[in-house]
Amino acid sequence: GVKVNLDMEIPISFAANRLTFADTVDLNMTDELDGVNYGTLILFANNGFPFETSAQLYLMDASMNIIDSIMPGVNTIDEAPVDINNVVIQPKMTKLVIPVSENKITSLKNAKKILIKIKLNTINYPQYVKIYSWYKIDVQLVGDFNYHISKKE
């Protein structure tokens, strides 16, 4: 058998440097992207956690091979400011602009899955920070696209 002793303080307290979470999601955007030439995705993140977060989205084919990435370069969501006790004072808004070229539209149409990778860094690493139940992050993704509309006679 397994014997475990757990000494735990709630709220949880930890430090992280490049802690990475990854997940895949099925994707089928062929019909939704018909007529789209190019555009921009805008990610608004109102971060209420004391973590600096970076995100990357990868498009994958049916064999789980990465065929393209969605977000260019480093995409950092700023951490919420904290007081002298490392408790979040207020959420921090970050706006990430993601250009979607004609080539990206083609990649999106061909992709069968999307790989989401999120990396977390606690502020003042390696100092521990507490995570409270009221901490949250609100994310909104907005699209602005150029469409080709053909008139059928």
Tens of pLDDT, residue by residue over 77-89, are: 999 999 998 899 9
What DSSP designation does 79 have?
P
Residue ranges for the chain with pLDDT beneath 70: 1, 6-10, 153
Q: What are phi and psi of 103, to 5 degrees?
A: -65, -40
Radius of gyration of the chain (CA): 20
What pLDDT was estimated at residue 47?
93
Query: Do the Cβ atoms of 57 and 73 come closer than 8 Å?
Result: no
pTM (global) more than 0.95? no
User: Is omega for the bond preceding 91 within 30 degrees of 0, making it cis?
Assistant: no
CB half-sphere exposure, 119, CA atoms < 13 A: 10
pLDDT at residue 86, as a whole number: 86
